[in-house]
Amino acid sequence: MSAQKKVAFYTLGCKLNFSETSTIARSFQNEGFDRVEFDEVADIYVINTCSVTDNADKRFKTIVKNALKKNENAFLIAIGCYAQLKPEELAAVDGVDLVLGATEKFKVTDYINDLSKNEMGEVHSCEIEEADFYVGSYSIGDRTRAFLKVQDGCDYKCTYCTIPLARGISRSDELQNVLKNAKEISEKGIKEIVLTGVNIGDYGKGEFGNKKHEHTFLELVQALDTVEGIHRLRISSIEPNLLTNETIDFVANSNSFVPHFHIPLQSGSDTLLKLMKRRYLRETYDNRVEAIKNTMPNACIGVDVIVGFPGETDALFLETYNYLNQLDISYLHVFTYSERPNTEAVEMEGFVPLKTRNKRSKMLRGLSVKKRRAFYESQLGNESVVLFESENKEGFIHGFTENYVKVKTPWNPALVNTLHPIKLTNIDEDGMVRFDWLKEPSLN
């Protein structure tokens, strides 16, 4: 009998990619493959690509080289957003054998009857209009949390974004299938589920293959809150124009949803928001933050922001900086604008030099550190519940409270994937929060 074939995976990009990688990995395991870590020797290496930033594109070649160092005869497969947008470009990279587009990636095991190396990468791609069906996914690689995909694609036309070109139209999983997947996750002992998608606030569109909404995001949230065995539900990222007061009010009083929102802003300048073709202006964002803080004063609010977008003058950047500085938020995810082919922004005037982009990025990252510190300080003295992670980091175990305060305590493997009531006490030199046990854990 031949030895069991081994497969390894590398994921670039977002939580959605991680959920899809995990689902694709399970399809390999169902076919008899043994999954190993990417830094181990494998017969097949699958790279799930991203194309949100230029950096993700460049990393692909390095990842391919690292895989071939482990096994020069390994069969290399590229899937994901970059594989849909630039399949020929990836196929031309030395060592790549197979490139699968948006509709083919979930059928990858159908393409690997022969693992002989190809002189040139074989491409199986599609016109993005064909990516109009939905494939449910969730990740279970982490013992403490799972990423549950509820929606895919996007109908928005933001001028900087290639995601609609890479993933197609907005479409949703059927509500009953979402609930089934959530139940499966909870039965595996995973304590936290993070809802993910491209534009999850648009949930319900395309649920049964039609354009109209069969359900709303609020109805999804309400239904998930009734699933037994789920300790925590977290909303990963939701557009401000799609986050309703009704959803905020429901989360504030729900059984399982935690007080943590990640809401993309992209710019604090209405001028730039219009150029970006975002579907809101600053006033809407103000209202979202105010509504959250009125109902959940201790809620954590994360913000996506882009620097260096065409037309961002010094004055407009300072408008964004000052706006974020006064806003009652908890941290920033800062993205440096990078030119993407086939987007409107590429043709826009007002090019921002790379040096200026990097300087602005550094300023906002510094502001993020300040914001997170201020948020942590505001939580000292509060009682909370921590869910501990699975990694030993220099002799400590880390965990997160419901509202995403990161805590640490000396490593004890018995704490992994357990929930404990604590009182936040002080911030250490690493910027993480220490605590007192409200109930001393009984651990083996």
How do residues 395-421 score in pLDDT, each as one tens digit? 999 999 999 999 999 999 999 999 999
What is the pairing mode between strands 192-196 and 145-149?
Answer: parallel
Average pLDDT over residues 45-62: 81
Q: List the structure tokens of 378.
A: 């505001």
Average pLDDT over residues 103-127: 85
pLDDT digits (tens, 9 = 90+) for 243-289: 999 999 999 999 999 999 999 999 999 999 999 999 999 999 999 99
Look up the pTM and report it.
Answer: 0.91
For all residues of the chain together, what is the average pLDDT? 93
Does pLDDT of 359 surpass 80? Answer: yes
What is the pairing mode between strands 34-36 and 6-11?
Answer: parallel
Q: What percent of the chain has pLDDT over 70?
A: 95
- Cβ burial of 435 (10 Å; 0-12, 13-18, 19+) is buried
Does pLDDT of 298 surpass 70? Answer: yes
Q: Which of 49-53, 179-183, 218-222, 368-372 has the lowest mean pLDDT?
A: 49-53
Which residue from 345, 352, 280 is spatially nearest to 312, judged by alpha carbons?
A: 352
